[in-house]
Amino acid sequence: MDLAAEVTRRARRVPVWVIYVLGLAPMGWLFWLGLTGGLGPEPIKALEHRYGLIALQLLVAGLAITPLCRIARVNLMRFRRAVGLLAFAYVTAHLLVWLLLDLRSLSLIWQDLVKRPYVTIGMAGFACLVPLALTSNDRSVRALGPRWRRLHRLTYVAVPLGAVHFVMLVKGWQWEPLAYLAAILGLLALRLRLVRSAFQQA
């Protein structure tokens, strides 16, 4: 049996709820570390960064599932919804730490939105993710029909915005956020190629 088939076979044995439990575990653990001094001298900033980074990693993972299935023949599609919802949970946690623990002031929030482009871009990405999270259920898929797929193309806007937010957030040109941006652009380009191939074969 080839490796891709073996990985797919083993993945089918994993209940989806396990992905949710494992995915949410770091959220509680990091919050506990922040409360107990385990995140260094600036726990709020560290917690905000960690949540945002995990969110971006999950968004990248979600983008990679379809190409992985179509090119490498490793089928993890049954976990795609869970990965997407976990990403949204971490983006929301990232946002709440910034709003409720970091700024704690409506005037400061507004000032950041207006004066800091990376905040504006981050909020735009979050706004794109909200309707995706709200419609990530079977009832919405049935109710929206073909419109559901069109709506969920917002993923291709939200994920690059998250990467650009990260690039602009850090000081100077650091390799880590640029690597995430490159990976996301590469996955989007790959997805576009797969879509074009599907149309040509139709």
- What residue spans define the domains of the chain? 3-201
pLDDT digits (tens, 9 = 90+) for 49-75: 999 999 999 999 999 998 888 888 888
Alpha helices in the chain (DSSP H): 3-12, 16-35, 43-72, 80-96, 106-115, 117-134, 138-144, 146-151, 155-169, 175-201
51/26 Cα distance (integer angstroms): 9
Provide the terminal-to-terminal Cα distance of the chain, rounded to the nearest Å: 31
pLDDT digits (tens, 9 = 90+) for 68-110: 888 888 889 999 999 999 999 999 999 999 989 887 777 777 8
Residue 173 has pLDDT above 80, yes or no: no
